[in-house]
Amino acid sequence: MTRRPDGIFISLSSGEARVRNGLSSVTLNPGEWLNKVGSRDLLNLKVLPMLNLLDVEVTREENGKETQMSSDLMLKIQLKRRNSKRNLGLKLPVLLSSNMVFPVARTLTLNRKGAATIRLSEIASLRGDEGYADRVQIIISPDAPGYEKIGAGFADVSLMPES
């Protein structure tokens, strides 16, 4: 959610959210957003589909071993059109979050082709996080105002603990 002088912008990439103002209410579903909402707007007329999304893929590094250690896995992020899956070129800061312990909040910037690649072991450490239960959920979302209409990307990764 972003509040600006011309209205409030609300987007939803997963789950469900009920939004109300002084006149009406609406349920947002994944992939929908509200554009420039005011206190007296009919919300059902403001619901729009998100046209772009952050596609996230987890791949094994070249020459990787057969085990799925976090040091062998790469996280590839690409900004795409939702329906056509066409790549979009846009330098955009994105925020990486997860269900596991991050040493620090991690932000990175997509290159001019709208892409970034990072080694999974660079963004998180399994050491000291006893609750990760070998399954890591990663969420990548835009980290700049004005990009509410870009859907977050998700990855679910099974890992073997590092020794």
Domains by residue range for the chain, with CATH = 2-49 (no CATH), 52-158 (2.60.40.10)
Local confidence band at 45 (pLDDT 50, 70, 90 cut-offs): very high
User: For residues 73 and 59, is the Cβ–Cβ distance under 8 A?
Assistant: yes
Q: Which one is predicted more confidently, 124 or 72?
A: 72
Q: Are 17 and 34 in contact (CB under 8 A)?
A: no
pLDDT on residue 71: 57
Q: What's the pLDDT tens digit per position in 87-136?
A: 999 999 999 887 766 655 688 999 999 999 988 777 655 555 555 556 77
pLDDT digits (tens, 9 = 90+) for 136-159: 788 899 998 888 889 999 988 876
